[in-house]
Amino acid sequence: MSAAPLVAALSRDDFHARARAELAFVYGEHAPDILQRLEALIDQHQAGTAREPRPLWSEQTQMMITYGDSIIEAEDSVPLEVLERFLREHLEETFSAVHILPFFTWSSDDGFSVIHYRRVSPTVGDWPQVRHLAGRFNLMFDLVINHVSRESLWFIDYLSDTPPGRDYFIELPEQTDVTSVTRPRNTKLLAPVSTRRGMQHVWATFSEDQIDLNFANPDVLIEMVGVLLYYLDQGARLIRLDAIAYLWKELGTSCIHLPQTHAIVRLLRAVMERVAPGALLLTETNVPHLENLSYFGNGDEAHIVYQFTLPPLLLHTLTTNDARALTEWAATLPPLPSGCTYLNFTASHDGVGVRALEGLLAPHDIETLLELMQRFGGFISMKTGPDGQDSPYEINITYFDALKGTRRGADPWQIARFICSQTIMLGLQGIPAVYVHSLLATLNDHEGVTRTGRLRAINRKRWQREALEPLLEAYSTPTHIVFEALTERLKTRRQEPCFHPDAPQKIIDLGPHFFAFLRGPLPDGRRLLAVHNVTDRSHPLNLPEAYARHHWRDLLGRIDPESDAPVLKPYRSCWLISWD
């Protein structure tokens, strides 16, 4: 594709108009005062800042997801420096962006219970190491916007009835009816806390250590915009809004995806466009597909949303040897708004969410998948519905072990099946994101689950580099085979303009054995046909006449599409390129 247009900063007048509209919707008559405070904060921030226009993305935009200490060395080493060396030595020509999961001081949930938003946890390093990484890669920071640790200074203020924090949280009588509130967990929504004023109960969507902030108080909004600006100053080029769907609370509603939440996302988008043109906003909303897509808004909310349906639907596809459900779903994806795209992934620090399968798979297929994942060593985390009943929320398992077999059980095809899953993800329209433990073919960390008591620890192993390097070097290890295959595909992908996030995509139904899609054509006629055998049997590749008439070349070197009877072996993929 031709070079993406540069994104210029939003003018002061345009920002003023957009921010005024969103603040008026959320805060009514208080909006003018809030807007004045907000603009003063931005003016102060911009005083020493020069932001050059930048393109949003290209085919070279590829992301790795990792904790700051996913790879560690000796006790006296700085994990962020270890990460930088690992990236430089192994992945310099592979990833353009790195999502460093929350690296701030925290008390639980491996970083998502933030004590201090502006301090780096000494267990991983400090701001100089973060800024050094930002000089080599586009970094994504988490803005954990929905809640804070009960050890944070704001919550300590609340406990002692001291401003400003005393007004930053939602306090309700213990017997308040909260049954209509959508829950992503099966813990109680109202957490008891002992304060100077006696025992109180505060809103805690995720855990008793993660106390929700009260955005009905505009001071909280101003605080969080200040944090956002600080992250941009420290080198963040992408901002991930953690758990954003639950931001606004209103008793009597589901308290998820409320209009005020969408308005605040639009406001944050406008702030970023004003101060950091080309910086990207990503919303994290592990919910059914259409709800997730709502965070594009009219092209004025998130630049990027997670493709949450892809991970569980790929598991279903590759464990049933049947591409029909995946093909039908992918064919229904709506056109992307201008300036918006997907973050395609299969695994992350969280489990594999199953809510995205609602309405796509029959209940018995979902139940069978959950049972299979347990057979392969995984766990199932639950949530509580409005009726008080628990239901599955996510699968806790490494994606590599999730694909150790099919419904028939474990088999010898684990590595090939896993590489197929990643190849599908890499080719789809959007930006690909590869979790470090997928790159390394990490097995289920049951020891971590036992040590921490947390199911999600199964997919959050901390690798000792001295143990990891021999596995990367030995030709016969799954770690070496997967790492080499994925890095080669990533290097190939970033050189192919058909993989630009804005390049068109068309799903092609080649029957249940194959998942196939076309990327392009580009203005010069170039097109790429991606075909994946999702079964454990070889199958002849018979292209429809509309595609067979083109002259194809396989970028992956797996087949000769010009032969009389090309065959795609089990779980093999091909990226066929043509420009005629």
Which active-site residues does the annotation give?
242
Whether residue 132 is annotated as binding a ligand: the answer is no
Q: Specify whether the backbone of 252 is left (phi greater than 0), alpha (psi in -120 to 50) or beta.
A: left
Tell me whether the omega of the peptide bond preceding residue 521 falls within 30 degrees of 0, making it cis: yes
The alpha-helical segments, DSSP class H, found in 161-254 are 218-233
Distance CA 169, CA 155 (A): 8
Q: Provide the 3-class DSSP secondary structure of residue 510.
A: coil
Relative orientation angle of helices 310-320 and 324-331, to the nearest 10 degrees = 150
User: 318 and 512 in contact (C-beta within 8 Å)?
Assistant: no
Distance CA 307, CA 149 (A): 28
Whether residue 267 is annotated as binding a ligand: the answer is no
Tokens of 333: 């994806």
Distance CA 141, CA 121 (A): 14
Q: How many Cβ atoms from other residues are within 10 Å of residue 6's Cβ? A: 12
Whether residue 364 is annotated as binding a ligand: the answer is no
Tokens of 306: 């997670």
Whether residue 365 is annotated as binding a ligand: the answer is no
Burial tier of 101 (Cβ tally within 10 Å: 0-12, 13-18, 19+): buried
Residues whose CB falls within 8 Å of the CB of residue 454, separated by 6 or more in sequence, listed in order: none
Give 165-181 as a 3 state SS string.
HHHCECECCCCCCCCCC
Q: Provide the 3-class DSSP secondary structure of residue 460.
A: coil
Distance CA 417, CA 426 (A): 14
At which residue do the structure tokens 């962006």 appear?
97
Radius of gyration of the chain (CA): 24
User: 290 and 277 in contact (C-beta within 8 Å)?
Assistant: no
Whether residue 456 is annotated as binding a ligand: the answer is yes
Whether residue 428 is annotated as binding a ligand: the answer is no
**Residue 13: strand pairing partners:** none
Burial readout 324-357 (b: 16 or more C-beta within 10 A, e: otherwise) = ebbbebbeebeebbeebbbbbbbbbbbbbbbbbb
User: 60 and 96 in contact (C-beta within 8 Å)?
Assistant: yes
Comparing C-alpha atoms, which of 421, 427, 431 is closest to residue 554?
Answer: 427
Q: Provide the 3-class DSSP secondary structure of residue 541.
A: coil
Q: How many Cβ atoms from other residues are within 10 Å of residue 553's Cβ? A: 14
Distance CA 461, CA 238 (A): 25
Distance CA 203, CA 188 (A): 9
Sequence ranges of the binding site for substrate:
109, 147, 240-242, 349-350, 456
Sequence ranges of the binding site:
109, 147, 240-242, 349-350, 456
